[in-house]
Amino acid sequence: MAQSKRSVSPLLALTLLMLLGSVAEAQEHYPSNFSPDLLEVEAVRNALGWLEENFPNQVEEWIRITEIPAPSGMEGDRARYLKDVLEAEGVPVKIDEFGNVVATLEGTGEGPTIVFAAHMDTVHPLDVDLTVTRDEDILRAPGVFDNSASLANMLAVIRAWREAGIQTRGDVIFIGTVEEEVGLVGMAKWLEANPGVADMVVALDGGLGSVAYGALWFSGRRYIFRGEGAHTLQSRGRPHPAVAMADAIRSIYEIPIPRDRDFAVYNVGMVHGGLVQNAIPQEVWFTVDLRAVDPALVDELGEEMDQRVTRVAEEQGVELERDPPMAERAVEEAVNMLPEPERRRHPLVQTAVDVYAHLGMEAPPRNTGSTDAVAAVRLGIPAVAMGRSRGGDQHTLQEWAHVPSALPATKAVLLVAVSMAGLDPLAHPLPGPTLQF
């Protein structure tokens, strides 16, 4: 009996390995709406050809957009530019009550609605020189990469779409959003004001190299320290808001981030205070940008920061005021968020990955994100972020972008839009890929 069992076990083991391999292979398969056959459709080929032929014009518009100042909350000039150029070409477009620019390419009503969002705002104040300089394939200027490139890509896709006469089953909505840099404000308000409209959201943001389908939770804080102040000659031993601020910042940077938890990062981005050189400042403040994949970790780190700053203020004998965080309790806001496996399995993710691969770009999926797509992910709406070009040094005065890479990035947007909205079989000779959503 024992001998019989031993003789059967190798075959049984091999069978189990084969079954496990089949299961693993099935688990690694993700649905995609993209097929290379899509490029056999004349309208799609014509649209891609139009993008190539008109790319020099796209670059010139990219430069024009970059040089229009648009700090968060002051995007009006850029919004009017987008609206005016689209109106002149007959595209249905409006500026909504929040300041977002919304353009709709209507489908036949038989498919899902996909929303593409490119934020209009920059982090740079009005007095920053935005003049673009070009060094062969490199553009240099504050905001040229984040996110002026995406706005130019978006306009090019809309024009190519209309020139080629593409007709899809689902609506495709393009939005130039406001105040993304200060909390995804424009996107979040549009989604709230238009419940049930977006079946999918694509943020046109970030560099090429990945497809982000998750969400970083973040909480912005501002800590304000106040005291009576005093002339330098009478400053010794007095409560000192600047000393409190320095101690608080140092203490925050001593907070350990657990290595066994998901990605998290924080940064003191702004410090300000004092009006007189030879006196104790009466008011100083600093800000903290806190981000993490795990909403519970955002709450934990935020509470630890609050406790440390409060303790420092008490030790220094100064008053403390804290602005309400952008996300007071991240865990409470995460209730509608789909589980990671479900988000990964949505065809939008693999479609974007496959489109990039077809265009010769590697873009692995990542369960993270820090773009307008996050506002959708938090509501349970499938969403990804697609890169605008290659570039770097964003949010600095040395920001740069690689010109040629914006062309395949733009083509990718068009192909994802057609793949997910689905071609109308009556308008085009070849049917599009099987629609899944």
pLDDT of residue 23: 40
Please say if the pLDDT value at position 324 is more than 90.
Answer: no
The tens digit of pLDDT for each residue in 50-63 reads 999 999 999 999 99
Question: Is residue 392 a contact partner of residue 400, using CB atoms and an 8 Å limit?
Answer: yes
Let me know how long the chain is. 437
- Percent pLDDT > 70 in the chain is 89
Higher pLDDT, 340 or 27: 340
Domains for the chain: give ranges and CATH numbers.
Answer: 36-215+337-421 (3.40.630.10), 217-332 (3.30.70.360)
* Verdict on whether the full-model pTM lies above 0.75: yes
Mean local confidence (pLDDT), 279-300: 92
pLDDT of residue 435: 54
Whether residue 100 is preceded by a cis peptide bond, meaning omega within 30 degrees of 0, is no
Q: What is the pLDDT of residues 352-375, one digit of tens each?
A: 999 999 999 999 999 999 999 999
The encoded tokens of residue 209 equal 């190299």
In sequence order, the 6+-apart residues with CB closer than 8 A to the CB of 134 are 63, 140, 403
Q: Residue-wise over 176-187: b if at least 16 C-beta within 10 A, else e?
A: bbbbbbebbbbb
- Each residue's pLDDT tens digit, 163-175: 999 999 999 999 9
pLDDT band at 326 (very low <50, low <70, confident <90, very high): low
**What is the pLDDT, as a whole number, of residue 293?**
86
Reply yes or no on whether the pLDDT at 7 is more than 70.
no
What pLDDT sits at residue 428?
86
Position 125 scores a pLDDT of 93
Cβ neighbors of 378 (< 8 A, separation 6 or more) are 215, 333, 334, 336, 337
- pLDDT over threshold 60, residue 434: no
Confidence of residue 430 (pLDDT cuts 50, 70, 90): low
3-state secondary structure of 24: helix
CB under 8 Å to 406, separation ≥6 — which residues? Answer: 55, 58, 59, 62, 149, 152, 153, 388, 389
pLDDT given for residue 296 in this prediction: 87
The chain-wide mean pLDDT, for the chain, equals 90
Give the pLDDT score at 17. Answer: 41
Q: Which of 133-142, 203-212, 428-437 has the lowest mean pLDDT?
A: 428-437
Q: What is the pLDDT of residue 199?
A: 98
Confidence grade of residue 26 (pLDDT, cut at 50, 70, 90): very low
- pLDDT confidence band for 218 (50 / 70 / 90): confident
pLDDT score, position 247:
98
Helix (H) / strand (E) containing 115: strand 114-119
